[in-house]
Structure formats: structure tokens, C-alpha cells
Amino acid sequence: MRRAGTAVWRQPLAVPYLVGSLLLVLAPLGLAVVLAFTDYFGFRAPEFTGLGNVSRLVDDRAFWDSVGISAVVAAVVVPFRLLLAVGAALLLARRRGAMMTAGRASVYLPSVIPDAAWALLWLWILNPLYGPLPALLGALGVPDPGFLTTPWGARLALVLVMTFQVGEAFTVALAARIAIPARLHEAIELEGGSGWFAMTRVTLPLMAPIVIVLAVRDVVVVVQNAFVPALLVTGGGPVNATLTAPLLIYRRAFEYGELGYASTLSVTLLVLTGIAAALPLWIAARLAARQRTR
């Protein structure tokens, strides 16, 4: 009875979150869905066009090219982010020590920096004239990858900008690592098992569900957050090589004034991102079902 009463009293605490979600997420999403079927430029009332925007979308090569660029960037960045977050969590899982605290703070620090400031910092780092990274590569005799000046060099620049902001994923992975009972590793050590055996047979399998959730989250984060570095660092170039889908939608809406068609693109990108994020969960569910049947 006491637990039931406590649950009842705690329910009103969710009201601000639900109201905020309604006002900041669901209401704009509903408005975008409505505008997706209109011709709207912001200066007059929207005109309903039915599936006109959808027909235009099918033949919009620029949009599908931008979706492909976003997919390529996400396919490279997400594994790097997971490797960095999970690797740092494994290295910094010990509960005590000033070095552990400093290490955790250094991993989380890039996520505290505002996205615009982080992008401008990398714009200076990658500058081909006076940037420290091109100068360092030149001093080491490494061929210049053409940061900001060649298509694949600019895409590599996006990867670098987006790889290191893993503070949230690191925190979750660290909590998952600490939650693993120490007696499991102690038992492996008593049996003469190596650290590699413990990590591959115990630690990583137990952390796998969390890692899959982080992968799903990072797919969404990378696709959406590619907007800021693409806008401030590469400008979508060179030759539209880094024109990601969010940047293209931004230009359609606020540079060309095609708010109705931009809403169609936004809803389409939301659906495609949802499909890409749901795929790892479906694969994980299938693998779990096979393991249960064995």
C-alpha cells in the first residue's frame, strides 16, 4: 500500500515533462506534417497541394544525395563514437583515484562545449593555411588530406568534429560497466582467465544491450547534429560534398523560403532516421530470440 501511494504521489512530477514534450516536440511535429501537404512561403496562408510535394520529393536528386551523405557520415562516425565511449568506460571504470576523475572529466568535457563553439574551434584546427593539424601532418610528412578543400577531406573533417563529443554515451557506458558485479571478474581471475577473456566473454556481452541502445541513439544524434559543423565548418562544400540533409532542409526553408516543401523533407528525414534507428533494435531482438531457443 505504501509503494502504491508513493507511485500515485510521484505521478504529478511527470506533468511538466509531458507538457514540455507536447509543446516542444509533438505540436511542432504535427504542424510540420500539416505543412508538408501545402505550398507555404511564410507571406500568405498555406495552400493545400495534396501529394504535390511528395511527387516533387521523389525526383529531388539533391535531397537524396544529401541523405546519402548523411548516411555515409553516420556510418563512419557512429562506430568511432561507440568505440571511444565504450573504450573510455572500460579504461576508467575504477571507482577511486584522482587520475580516474580527471580522465572522466576530459572525456566528458567536449560535450559541455556548445556545438557552435566546438565547430568554430575545429574550423581553426583544420584551416589549411594556419591550422595546427595540417601543419602537424605536413611536419610528419603525411600527405595533406585536403581538409575543407577536397570532397572526401571535408567529409573527414565532419567525422573529426563529431567523433569526440561522446560525454553522454560515455556516462551511460561507464554506469553499465560499473554495474557488472565484481565477483564475476574475481571468479575468472581465480580460474586463471586472462583479462582479454574476461572482457570478451563477460564484460562486453553484459554491456551489449546498452551498447545497442547507444548505437540507436547515436544514429539519431549524428544525423541531426551534423547540421552545425556542415554549416559552420564546411558550408556544405566543396561541391556539395558535405551538404547533409539537415543543412539542405535549412536552406530550403530559410534561404529559399519553401517552408511547405521543407516540412515535407523534414518529415521524410524523420521517417528515414526512425527506420535506420529501429534496424539495430530489430537485429538485437532477433539475436536474443535465437539465443533463447538454443
Decide: 75 and 160 in contact? Cβ < 8 Å.
Answer: no
Look up residue 286 and give its DSSP letter: H
Tell me which range, 7-16, 25-34, 95-104, 236-245, is most confidently predicted by mean pLDDT: 236-245
Q: How confident is the model at residue 81 (pLDDT cuts 50, 70, 90)?
A: very high
Nearest residue to 108 (alpha-carbon basis) of 174, 203, 159, 157:
174
Decide: 252 and 262 in contact? Cβ < 8 Å.
Answer: yes
Q: What does the alpha-carbon distance between residue 89 and residue 102 come to, in Å, rounded to a whole number?
A: 13
Q: How confident is the model at residue 9 (pLDDT cuts 50, 70, 90)?
A: very low
pLDDT at site 4 = 46
Contacting residues for 225 by C-beta, under 8 A, at least 6 apart: 115, 162
Interval 124-182: pLDDT, tens: 999 988 889 988 988 888 888 888 889 999 999 999 999 999 989 999 999 888 888 88
pTM of the model: 0.83
- Mean pLDDT in residue range 37-65: 88
Residue type, 84: L
User: What residue ranges do the domains of the chain occupy?
Assistant: 56-293
Write the DSSP string, 142-197: PPP--TTTSHHHHHHHHHHHHHS--HHHHHHHHHHHHHS-HHHHHHHHHTT--HHH
The string over 214-247, giving b where at least 16 C-beta atoms fall within 10 Å of a residue's C-beta and e elsewhere, is bbbbbbebbbbbbbbbbbbbbebeeebbbbbbbb
Look up residue 38 and give its DSSP letter: E
Please report, in angstroms and rounded to a whole number, the separation of the first and last CA atoms in the chain: 41
Q: So what CATH class is 56-293?
A: mainly alpha
Nearest residue to 161 (alpha-carbon basis) of 128, 197, 115:
115
Write the DSSP string, 251-281: IIIIIS--HHHHHHHHHHHHHHHHHHHHHHH
Decide: 44 and 127 in contact? Cβ < 8 Å.
Answer: no
Task: For 84-150, give the secondary structure using H, E and C.
Answer: HHHHHHHHCCCCCCHHHHHHHHHHHHHHHCCHHHHHHHHHHHCCCCCCHHHHHHHHCCCCCCCCCCC
Q: What does the alpha-carbon distance between residue 72 and residue 132 come to, in Å, rounded to a whole number?
A: 26
Interval 166-214: pLDDT, tens: 989 999 999 888 888 888 877 877 777 777 778 888 888 888 888 888 8
Neighbours of 196 (CB within 10 A): 8
In the numeric block, which cell numbers belong to residue 237? 562544400
